[in-house]
Amino acid sequence: MAASVKFRVYRYRPEDGGKGFYREYEVPVKKGMTILDGLLYIKESLDPTLSIRYSCRMAICGSCGMRVNGIETLACHTQISELRRRVITVEPMKNFPVIKDLVTDMAVLFKKQRALLTWLIRRDLVEQENPTHQYIQSDEELERYLQFTYCIQCGLCYSACPVVSTFPDFYGPQPLMKMYRYFADSRDEGGKERIDLVDKFEGVWRCHFAGSCSMVCPKGVDPALAIQLLRRASLRG
Amino acid sequence: MSRSEYRSTVLQSLKTMLIAGKYGLERWSYVLQRISGVVVALYFIAHVLETGNFIGGITVWSVPDYSFAEKAYEETVKLLKNPLFDVGLAVVGFLVTFHTINGIRLILAHFGFFLGKPRRPEPFEPPVSFSTRQRALFWLSISLAVFALLYALDSLMRVFRT
């Protein structure tokens, strides 16, 4: 492994207006060092004006999503050694407005999630507040949606989606996957109401099954599968 | 949106649409499906215009003389009789075949066929939607498209030899 690598980091200051630019930093590398460690080294030792968002440092919180060498990844989950490159280009996620440097505004993602009713819908509100019995699920019922609960809402799939890039009104992989998670839950009573929300042009029908969302997910969630299954449900009515 | 912002958005969209990057096989399928769709649509328009010339183009409803159609046919054949158009036709054959077979794969996916069932994510396991059957169908579309390309080139070679 090289003793140091060159970080080519996207910089953008909203107060300056105009376009962003790239600045290069030489970063000494230690065994096991992640991209986030490298960025923190830059911030602490080379350039304190660099803005990044991070929290848990162990791929749980989904805060440090960014593009590293052209592909979406969590900075804390990617070791420098695994990239096998002397120059590492770090950019903010696509399809989100950039607030500063590598920090993006993810409000659009959460807004779309809310629009798709990403919570359990129960018709009997009295029973919901004061349940009279347990709502036990079989293993098969659990398997139908379990993998989609692993989503940490990091936004990498939304950034990788080529359809969102060309048609921003498309709900995007994460909100649609999240909606399917509840649709497939045996306790949910959303049913037709949910399908009506996504059975339209900017819903499931705009997806072209490019699969980039599933490819970049750091938790192994498969939004492309969820969207195809929602489509099947729309077709079956 | 200012003019420079608009231009930058269009360029970014085209880049996303035409460059598969490191996103894997499914993204290549998406890019090829986009390109083949646009090329086939443009070819269809050009083909209708070209064949429409024989019967008078936009003046078709006035029913032109036979001599007019004969002249238009000869001019069109003269224009198209060069290796560039011939190779272009073979490429169109590749793209039409790919677009058709891959399109059938996508329609089947809409109905949930060949996708696999949701399961717990396992480390180093590919997503269920990238199933072996899905990928086999993609490679089938590529194989048949290459066959169509080779068949068209072989036919052209035979034409050139005669």
pLDDT in tens, B133-157: 999 999 999 999 999 999 998 887 7
CB contacts, 8 Å: B34 with chain A: 208
Pick from A94, A222, A232: which is nearest to B127 by CB? Answer: A222
Residue B11: per-residue pLDDT? 85
Residue A233: per-residue pLDDT? 93
Residue A75: per-residue pLDDT? 97
Q: Where are the domains of chain B?
A: 23-161
Give the chain A residue whose CA is nearest to the CA of B135: A211
Using H for helix, E for strand and C for coil, what is the string for B53-111?
HHHCHHHHHHCCCHHHHHHHHHHHHHHHCCHHHHHHHHHHHHHHHHHHHHHHHHHHHHC
As a whole number of angstroms, the distance between CA B44 and CA B61 comes to 21
Q: Phi and psi (nearest 5°) for A72?
A: -70, 135
CATH at residue A183: 1.10.1060.10
Q: Which of A61, A87, A104 is the last residue of a domain?
A: A104
More confident residue, A115 or A191: A115
As a whole number of angstroms, the distance between CA A80 and CA A28 comes to 11
Tokens of B35: 């390109």
Report the 10 Å Cβ neighbour count for A150. Answer: 15
CB-based contacts of B91: which residues, under 8 Å, 6+ apart? B39, B149
Q: Is the pLDDT of residue B28 over 90?
A: yes
Q: Is the pLDDT of residue B72 over 80?
A: no
Residue B120: per-residue pLDDT? 87
Same domain, A44 and A161: no
Residue B62: per-residue pLDDT? 66
pTM: 0.90
As a whole number of angstroms, the distance between CA A137 and CA A143 comes to 10
Same domain, A123 and A204: yes
Same domain, A120 and A203: yes
CA–CA min distance B114, chain A (Å) = 11
Residues in chain A: 237
Cβ <8 Å between B16 and A166: yes
As a whole number of angstroms, the distance between CA A169 and CA A229 comes to 21
CA–CA min distance B96, chain A (Å) = 18
Q: In this predicted structure, which of A52-56, A70-74, A169-173, B68-72 has the lowest mean pLDDT?
A: B68-72
Are B134 and B101 contacting, i.e. CB atoms less than 8 angstroms apart? Answer: no
Same domain, A120 and A87: no
Pick from B24, B110, B121: which is nearest to A211 by CB? Answer: B24
Cβ <8 Å between B23 and A220: no
As a whole number of angstroms, the distance between CA A117 and CA A132 comes to 25
Cβ <8 Å between B129 and A71: no
Same domain, A59 and A122: no
- DSSP one-letter string for A93-155: PTTS-EEETTEE--HHHHHHHHHTT-S---S-HHHHHS-SS-----HHHHHHHHGGGG-----
CB-based contacts of A113: which residues, under 8 Å, 6+ apart? A174, A175, A178
pLDDT digits (tens, 9 = 90+) for A213-233: 999 999 999 999 999 999 999
As a whole number of angstroms, the distance between CA B100 and CA A8 comes to 42
Q: For chain A, what is the domain count?
A: 2
Cβ <8 Å between A143 and B110: no
Cβ <8 Å between A143 and B118: yes
Q: In this predicted structure, which of A157-161, A218-222, B35-39, B51-55 has the lowest mean pLDDT?
A: B51-55
CB contacts, 8 Å: A208 with chain B: 30, 33-34, 106
Range of the domain at A58: 4-104
Same domain, A223 and A132: yes
Same domain, A138 and A156: yes
Q: Which of A67, A89, A104 is the last residue of a domain?
A: A104
Same domain, A115 and A87: no
Question: Which of these, B110, B102, B89, B83, lies nearest to B144 by C-alpha position?
Answer: B102
CA–CA min distance A147, chain B (Å) = 5
pLDDT digits (tens, 9 = 90+) for A95-141: 999 999 999 999 999 999 999 999 999 999 898 889 898 889 999 99
Same domain, A123 and A191: yes
Q: Is the pLDDT of residue A1 over 70?
A: no
Residue B99: per-residue pLDDT? 97
Report the 10 Å Cβ neighbour count for A218. Answer: 19
For an interface test with B, which of A166, A169, A204, A229 has the most B Cβ atoms less than 10 Å from its Cβ?
A166
CB contacts, 8 Å: B17 with chain A: 162, 165-166
CB contacts, 8 Å: A165 with chain B: 12-13, 16-17
Q: What is the CATH number of domain B23-161?
A: 1.20.1300
As a whole number of angstroms, the distance between CA A206 and CA A202 comes to 6
CB-based contacts of A103: which residues, under 8 Å, 6+ apart? A51, A52, A53, A92
pLDDT digits (tens, 9 = 90+) for A147-185: 999 999 999 999 999 999 989 999 999 999 999 999 999
pLDDT digits (tens, 9 = 90+) for A7-47: 999 999 888 777 889 999 999 999 999 999 999 999 999 99
CB contacts, 8 Å: A164 with chain B: none
Cβ <8 Å between A225 and B29: no
Q: How far, rounded to the nearest angstrom, does the alpha carbon of residue A3 sit from its chain's CA centroid?
A: 32
Same domain, A98 and A112: no
As a whole number of angstroms, the distance between CA A202 and CA A175 comes to 12
CA quadruple A71, A77, A79, A83: dihedral, nearest 10: -20
Cβ <8 Å between B118 and A70: no
